């Protein structure tokens, strides 16, 4: 198996992971955004915040863009690269918002236990891990080799 064939297989696995991830992210963040809207509409108190609503909307838009990019990649279309990169940037923005929200909510709480600090650190670490994944997606689908593969 040549290097091009191995890279091609990795690309297809990455596209499959992106397609599955976008469906999960859309449903998760769609729930968060809808919860905020409905709690305000029915005047019911929940723990949903405006911040979570905005983050949810960003994540849903990025999910749709990434899903479209994944579908275009599956059809070997040149449009896929721009869509995949744009959607990944959207998720990086969402992750940055999530990190700042987790830190800000931690500062507002009365933190008295080491466990609480570890919990916030774990949540921030999860967001950072996701950001690294999206940076990898940007780099991978921005490469000239990927664009050349789409032209063939």
What is the reported pLDDT for 15? 94
What is the reported pLDDT for 110? 81
119 vs 116: CA distance, rounded Å: 5
139 vs 81: CA distance, rounded Å: 10
What is the reported pLDDT for 23? 97
Consecutive 10-residue runs of the chain (152 residues): their mean pLDDT? Answer: 69 94 97 95 92 95 97 89 96 96 88 90 97 96 76 55
Whether the CB-CB separation of 93 and 57 falls below 8 Å is answered with no
pTM for this predicted structure: 0.89
What is the reported pLDDT for 2? 64
What is the reported pLDDT for 152? 53
What is the reported pLDDT for 109? 85
Token digits for 91? 């998720």
Q: What is the DSSP string of 108-128?
A: HS---SHHHHHHHHHHHHHHH
């Amino acid at each position: 198996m040549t290097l091009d064939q191995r890279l091609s297989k990795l690309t297809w696995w990455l596209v499959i992971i992106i397609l599955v991830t976008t469906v999960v992210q859309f449903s998760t963040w769609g729930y968060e955004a809808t919860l905020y809207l409905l709690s305000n509409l029915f005047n019911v108190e929940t723990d949903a915040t405006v911040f979570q609503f905005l983050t949810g909307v960003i994540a849903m838009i990025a999910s749709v863009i990434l899903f479209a990019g994944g579908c275009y990649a599956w059809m070997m279309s040149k449009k896929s690269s721009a869509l995949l990169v744009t959607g990944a940037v959207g998720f990086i923005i969402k992750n940055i918002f999530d990190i700042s929200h987790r830190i800000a909510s931690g500062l507002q709480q009365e933190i008295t236990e080491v466990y609480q600090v570890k919990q916030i650190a774990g949540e921030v670490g999860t967001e950072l891990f996701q950001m690294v994944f999206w940076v990898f997606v940007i780099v991978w689908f921005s490469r000239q080799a990927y664009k050349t593969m789409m032209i063939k």
